[in-house]
Amino acid sequence: MAKYLLLKHYRHSGPKPVPGTEAMMDQWTPDEITAHIEYMGRFAEKLTESGEYVSGDALSPEGTFVRYDGAGRPPVTDGPFAETKDLIAGWMIIDVESQERAYEAAAELSAAPGAGGRPIHEWLEVRPFLADPGATAE
Amino acid sequence: MDHDAVNDLMRTLAPQVLGALVRRGADFATAEDAVQESLIEAVHHWPDDPPDDPKAWLLRVAGRKLIDAQRSEAARRRREERVHDEPPPGPAEQSDDTLLLLSRCCHPALSPASAVALTLRAVGGLTTAQIARAFLVPEATMAQRISRAKRTITGERFDTPGDVGAVLHVLYLIFNEGFTGEISLAGEAIRLTRQLAAATSASAGTAGPEIAGLLALMLLHHARRDARRTASGELVPLDQQDRSRWDTDMVAEGVDVLQDALARDRLGQYQAQAAIAALHDDAPTAQETDWSQILQWYDELARLTDNPVVALNRAVAVGQVDGPRAGLAVLNGIDPGLARWDAVAAHLYERADETAEAIRHYTVAADRATSSAERNHLIKQAARLRSHGSRPPA
């Protein structure tokens, strides 16, 4: 089994959105939003039942950059940056048999219904975890 | 005795045994370790050989563990131990040590998160694993949080029950954690507050009405729990809840507890908040809500606490009584940096028929929301106004 991170973005510098799917969630109707949330909930349940779900979380869009500024000094902060190109909305970690299966799961997540009940065709970023070397790896 | 029966019994008895040891002068952290060890022995022995008096059994075993711990500590460190020569535990004692234990767990030196975790384990009788699952953190993390909390209060002397206000605040925080997980933390908070109220009904003096006020507040909110979420977990605002799903027995109990507390004429913030909750619970429909009485209670509450959330909620009440413009005027005097400020602004602008402003504030409020459920709810409000609103967004 291998772990994969499925990253969902509010905005990203990756591939262009599929034409006709650009509307943000707050431009959908309330019922469309409900249908979308229910689909996401069922997706996580299905992966739990198949023994592939590890964890998932959503993030607030507002964030701040922070760094060390020397001993005894308070941290330096910068931001939030309203125009940052990459903005992570949340993630799901799955533990699956193969990369193929990870892609299949990501595609299913990307098929969540959006405006007009049509699949949102959202680009999800799939990142394999770096695992521990196996005990027999030498 | 089957496994579940053993667990239930241990959960009830563990805090009583801990209380008895602490009241005799044992150090809280050492006594808590001793009780945990006695529980491990109980799990091994009770299913095959249940004791006649389980509490006395636990007291005896925990007392022995405590003395062992104290002796090895004394031998190692060669120092005077005030608890060293405590008499061995006698027969089980009946007095209730709830307040004594709670005031140790809610010691002001502890962070709120530590106090919450320690309270749930030492007084609530939950296991570290259960508490960790309830807060979605690894068990090792929660175990560290609890043992650090115990170290923090080790050596603190407690001759009198501590600050009741600090205890009530921790119980309030536990209640606010909600009721969606395997362990209903709200239910647990009610159980502990009920226990505290019963244990202190004669002795808490001036704090008594606020203990009752907090219990009433919890009951009057918890009564609405089934109506607060849809099947898929979305939030349902108070004015749209199916009131037939409110727990009327729980409302009645909350009102009784509140009336007794108010009759003692020592008003505090929990009683005032409970009174507001009672007025909402009392309205057969949202339209029949007695907002002018609610506003009077918010005025009272604003005198009792400088909590900014109270100020925000008061602006909503002003909006109901004197109209949304008046509510917005109050809101403009409140720090817009507060997390829910935009949500309140959106609501008031919507009622003032300023759809574009309402949409803008709902959108900002969604970005500032502190939970997914709240975020989704606010996005839907913006979406609802966009699809049905009388004016297009600016």
* B46 and B113 together in one domain: no
Q: Which two tokens stand for residue B313?
A: 């909620």
Q: Taking CB atoms and an 8 Å cutoff, what residues of chain B touch A27?
A: 383, 386
Nearest to B211 by CA among B265, B256, B272, B164: B164
* B66 and B100 together in one domain: no
* B15 and B78 together in one domain: yes
- Report CB contact under 8 Å: B380, A33: yes
* B84 and B183 together in one domain: no
Q: Is B233 left (phi over 0), alpha (psi -120 to 50) or beta?
A: left
Say yes or no: A29 contacts chain B, CB-CB below 8 A: yes
* B79 and B123 together in one domain: no
Arithmetic mean of pLDDT, A11-23:
82
- Report CB contact under 8 Å: A26, B386: yes
Say yes or no: A62 contacts chain B, CB-CB below 8 A: yes
- Report CB contact under 8 Å: B383, A26: yes
Q: Taking CB atoms and an 8 Å cutoff, what residues of chain A touch B138?
A: none
Residues of chain B falling short of pLDDT 50: 79-94, 390-394
Residue B235 burial (CB < 10 Å; 0-12/13-18/19+)? Answer: middle
> A96 vs chain B: nearest CA distance in angstroms?
22
The pLDDT, as a whole number, for residue A132 is 82
The pLDDT, as a whole number, for residue A128 is 95
Q: Taking CB atoms and an 8 Å cutoff, what residues of chain B touch A26?
A: 362-363, 366, 379, 382-383, 386
Nearest to A29 among B233, B375, B387 (CB): B387
The pLDDT, as a whole number, for residue A95 is 96
- Report CB contact under 8 Å: B234, A37: yes
Cβ atoms of B359 and B365 closer than 8 Å: no
* B123 and B199 together in one domain: yes
Q: What is the C-alpha separation between B82 and B70, in angstroms, rounded?
A: 10
Q: Taking CB atoms and an 8 Å cutoff, what residues of chain B touch A60?
A: 367-370, 375
Give the nearest chain A residue to B235 (CA atoms).
A34
The tens digit of pLDDT for each residue in A29-47 reads 999 999 999 999 999 999 9
In a domain, B197, yes or no: yes
In a domain, B214, yes or no: no
Last residue of a domain, one of B151, B176, B203: B203
Nearest to A5 by CA among A138, A131, A129: A129
Nearest to A89 by CA among A45, A115, A66, A58: A58
- Report CB contact under 8 Å: A33, B375: no
In a domain, B304, yes or no: no
Say yes or no: B232 contacts chain A, CB-CB below 8 A: yes
Strands (E), A34-115: 53-58, 65-67, 76-78, 87-96
Cβ atoms of A91 and A6 closer than 8 Å: yes
Q: Taking CB atoms and an 8 Å cutoff, what residues of chain B touch A28?
A: 383
In a domain, B85, yes or no: yes
Q: What are phi and psi of A94, to 5 degrees?
A: -125, 155
* B78 and B168 together in one domain: no
* B83 and B104 together in one domain: no
Cβ atoms of B82 and B156 closer than 8 Å: no
Q: How many CB pairs under 8 A join A and B?
A: 45
Mutation for testing the B interface, residue in A8, A11, A26 having most B CBs under 10 Å: A26
ipTM of the assembly? Answer: 0.84
In a domain, B387, yes or no: no
* B35 and B122 together in one domain: no
What letter would DSSP give residue B338?
Answer: S
Mutation for testing the A interface, residue in B372, B374, B378 having most A CBs under 10 Å: B372
* B84 and B107 together in one domain: no
The pLDDT, as a whole number, for residue B170 is 93
In a domain, B173, yes or no: yes
Give residue B135's domain range.
93-203
Nearest to B384 among A30, A61, A62 (CB): A30
Q: Taking CB atoms and an 8 Å cutoff, what residues of chain B touch A38?
A: 232
The pLDDT, as a whole number, for residue B157 is 63
Last residue of a domain, one of B33, B59, B92: B92
What letter would DSSP give residue B266?
Answer: -
Q: What is the C-alpha separation between B65 and B71, in angstroms, rounded?
A: 10
Strands (E), B189-339: none
The tens digit of pLDDT for each residue in A74-123 reads 999 998 887 777 889 999 999 999 999 999 999 999 999 998 899 999 99
* B170 and B104 together in one domain: yes
> B344 vs chain A: nearest CA distance in angstroms?
18
Half-sphere exposure of A126 (CA within 13 A, CB side): 21
The tens digit of pLDDT for each residue in B122-176 reads 999 888 998 998 888 899 999 999 999 999 888 776 555 567 888 999 999 999 8
Say yes or no: A27 contacts chain B, CB-CB below 8 A: yes
Cβ atoms of A82 and A61 closer than 8 Å: no
Last residue of a domain, one of B92, B113, B133: B92
* B28 and B59 together in one domain: yes
DSSP state string for B108-142: TTS-HHHHHHHHHHHTT---HHHHHHHTTS-HHHH
The tens digit of pLDDT for each residue in B206-263 reads 788 999 999 999 999 999 999 999 888 889 999 999 999 999 999 999 999 999 999 9
Number of domains in chain B: 2
- Report CB contact under 8 Å: A41, B233: yes
Say yes or no: B371 contacts chain A, CB-CB below 8 A: no
The pLDDT, as a whole number, for residue B85 is 45
In a domain, B359, yes or no: no
- Report CB contact under 8 Å: A26, B376: no
In a domain, B318, yes or no: no
**Cβ contacts of B108 within 8 Å, gap of 6 or more:** B162, B163, B166
B81: helix, strand or coil: coil
Say yes or no: A97 contacts chain B, CB-CB below 8 A: no
**Cβ contacts of A129 within 8 Å, gap of 6 or more:** A2, A3, A4, A5, A93
Q: Taking CB atoms and an 8 Å cutoff, what residues of chain A touch B384?
A: 29-30
The pLDDT, as a whole number, for residue B86 is 42
Say yes or no: A136 contacts chain B, CB-CB below 8 A: no
